[in-house]
Structure 1
Amino acid sequence: MSNIATTNNLTTIDSKKPTTKQELIAANVKLLIERLEDGHSEALTNYLTAMSRFHNYSFGNVLEIARQMPTATRVAGFWTWKNLGRSVKAGARGIRILGPIVGVRRKKDSEAEKDITTQNERVILGFRNLYVFDISQTEGVDLPSLHEVSGDPGKNIAHLIAFLKGKGIAVTYTDRIAPALGTSYGGRIALLPGQSKAEEFATLVHETAHELLHQTERRTAITRTIREMEAEAIAFAVGKAVGLVNESASADYIHLYQGNASLLAESLEVVQQASSLILSALEPVVTEEGTRSFEEAA
């Protein structure tokens, strides 16, 4: 039986059915394809925007947040909001995500004797429903913003170049690549000088995406058009996260999959993973007591 249900002319996922990561992703990707085929191109934009805001969450949970509340900007559990001095408003409907059920596996005595500090290890036994709430569903003390929203990437260009240097990828500037704004050579990125800071950052993220995704065996597994669209999607998500306005993001590459949900899911997941890696390099992880625990592992 399908996990997709129709209620009041709105397509939704039966929240009682997807109980594993695979089921959750499959149901959301199927819904995404259906909405795009019906002309709702904002469905992909909503997902990429959620990706920019929740890069510490898993692929499946980002899909869930984007589907249930596209306008969400910052989510946490009921008691986490309490600890932060805010309360969930009466009647607020939680956003369902999957969280792991964590158990402890005791090591064999022979293994434990080798290292007494790690006698036991935590393992994921399964998944359960968790509910988080967006900050708009709460009230209380004001919280500091996660980053300044502006059209200037600020120090993020330097941070990204440092990240690339740590991976052995050099960044150079040369007019010889004109009219291209940037190129990726596998271990080296060249940028066209004279771009605005916003354009330079977006170009650098785009070429970083190629270095992370498309200088491996994946390069021969997908078309050049899909490679470019994946890099653009990553540039959109990362740019959105640091406050840049980017109207060039396109949902066109979705249609290149001709309804093949598994290929689409693979493409979106690598986009999410690469965006998460880049965003983690740009800013320190925001830690709040109890916020992350194992929720993001689902």
Structure 2
Amino acid sequence: MREDTRTLEEKIADRNAKIDALHEKLTDAVGQLVTGDDWRRAIEFAAKFRARSFNNTLLIWMQNYAAYEAGLVPDPFPQCVAGFQQWKQLGRSVNAGAKGFQIFAPVSARVAVAEDGSYRRLAKGEGPDPGEVVKSRMVGVRPTYVWPLALTSGKDIPETPAPKLLTGEAPAGLWTGLAVQVRERGYTLRYAPNADALGGANAMVRYDRMEVFVRLDMEPAQRAKSLCHELGHIVAGHDPQEQDVRLHRGVVEVEAESIALMVAAAHGLPTDDYTIPYVSTWASRVEGQDPVVTVQQTAARVRTAALEILAGLDTHKAPDGDPPGLSRSAGLGTAPPETEPSQGSTAGAPDDGLSLDQQGRRHARSATAVNDGMRP
């Protein structure tokens, strides 16, 4: 093996250059989300690769499609991806000369957390001060590679059956699970006979009375989607009393619709009936913020809320993008799961590439009743 003669400064500069290049690739990918259908397909893909951050799913999607167009992989969408060592763990090897897909991997470090929640990074061998607790926390990212199943060879990977549903049918347990989560958050679930009773909407949240209304005259799948849309408002914290929420009504509706879309896609429900406006119509309305950042932050909030809802559902779901049987303790999995970096990361740490809103900033509508205006 050739000896690495670079200095520490040169190694850092090289890594930062790779991170910058990956950021540019990610920005280009986000910029390609133009129409509502582009966004819908991105969220649907993220639902099937929900083990990874939205930005990483976008990078995987874009690079796999480029490989497909070049004739390097047989399908435009990968079945699953994993790191080099992770494939070895599963009895498979990356094909000789196969180029991997570059993504962001989290970098964690020992930090001392004070009683007020602030923290500082600890040097090697350094201990905490009195009153501090030592924890491991994500402080940055590094570039790494994953390969799709199609670029590996070896032991067969068992296929996880995807949910199969009849037209209009809701997955078993989905409605009940969503209803339970609505009630667990202190809301009463009520039913309306038709759209006229809800001002033309499929469903509605009344925050002032802590009630959620859903139309009864819809097929089971449509009822479940509409209920999930309203639960998305609740989980995402779309309180109409907050000024920030009233200022960004368009983003709020995109978030709730996308949360429902992601939950639906994870259950094998059709998603082509979801209506999302052109990305530019809502991403450019956050004053003083780059639309690319708005898209990334919105996607991160959507993913966080959708994963919270999915975690509370005892239902049969589609695979999450990891090969069956994969342990995250191998290869790329030595890093913590793909979570978002915490606010107040160590000064000088690399930009995380995830563009997350660590304050959990919420956007919602100005009306007391947040209804399902897009009628999923």
TM-score in terms of structure 2 length:
0.61
Are 1:265 and 2:270 counterparts?
no
Are 1:88 and 2:114 counterparts?
no
Match of 1:131 among 127, 130, 145: 145
Shift of 1:208: 1.2
- Which residue is equivalent to 2:338? 296
**Residue 138 to residue 178, structure 1, CA distance change in 2 (3 Å):** farther
Match of 2:106 among 94, 100, 111: 100
Match of 1:66 among 46, 61, 68: 61
Measure the CA separation in 1 of the matches of 2:325 and 2:190: 34
**1:43-62 equivalence runs, <5 A:** 43-62=38-57
Bigger CA radius of gyration: 2
User: Residue type of the partner of 1:142?
Assistant: I
Match of 1:141 among 149, 156, 181: 156
- Which residue is equivalent to 2:26? 28
Do the aligned residues in 2 keep the contact of 1:99 with 1:295 (CA within 8 Å)? no
Measure the CA separation in 1 of the matches of 2:57 and 2:162: 20
Q: Which runs of 4+ in 1 moved over 6 A?
A: 284-287
Shift of 1:27: 5.5
CA RMSD of superposed structures (Å): 3.4
Deviations 1:174-201 (A, max 9, x none): 3243742211123331111132221111
Measure the CA separation in 2 of the matches of 1:253 and 1:269: 18
**Residue 197 to residue 82, structure 1, CA distance change in 2 (3 Å):** farther
Shift of 1:238: 1.7
**1:221-236 equivalence runs, <5 A:** 221-223=247-249, 225-236=250-261
**Residue 278 to residue 126, structure 1, CA distance change in 2 (3 Å):** same
**1:241-260 equivalence runs, <5 A:** 241-256=266-281, 257-258=283-284, 260=291
Measure the CA separation in 2 of the matches of 1:290 and 1:34: 31
**Residue 295 to residue 64, structure 1, CA distance change in 2 (3 Å):** farther
- Which residue is equivalent to 2:360? none
Deviations 1:74-108 (A, max 9, x none): 22222222323333344433221111223334543
SS at structure 2 position matched to 1:19: helix
Matched residues, percent identical?
22
SS at structure 2 position matched to 1:233: helix
Unaligned runs of 5+ in 1: 1-14, 113-118
Unaligned runs of 5+ in 2: 1-14, 66-76, 111-121, 285-289, 341-376
- Which residue is equivalent to 2:371? none
Do the aligned residues in 2 keep the contact of 1:209 with 1:274 (CA within 8 Å)? yes
Match of 1:212 among 235, 254, 271: 235
Do the aligned residues in 1 keep the contact of 2:202 with 2:214 (CA within 8 Å)? yes
How many residues align? The count is 272
**Residue 75 to residue 159, structure 1, CA distance change in 2 (3 Å):** farther
- Which residue is equivalent to 2:366? none
SS at structure 2 position matched to 1:296: coil
Measure the CA separation in 2 of the matches of 1:194 and 1:50: 30
Name the structure with the higher helix share. 1
Shift of 1:17: 4.5
TM-score in terms of structure 1 length:
0.75
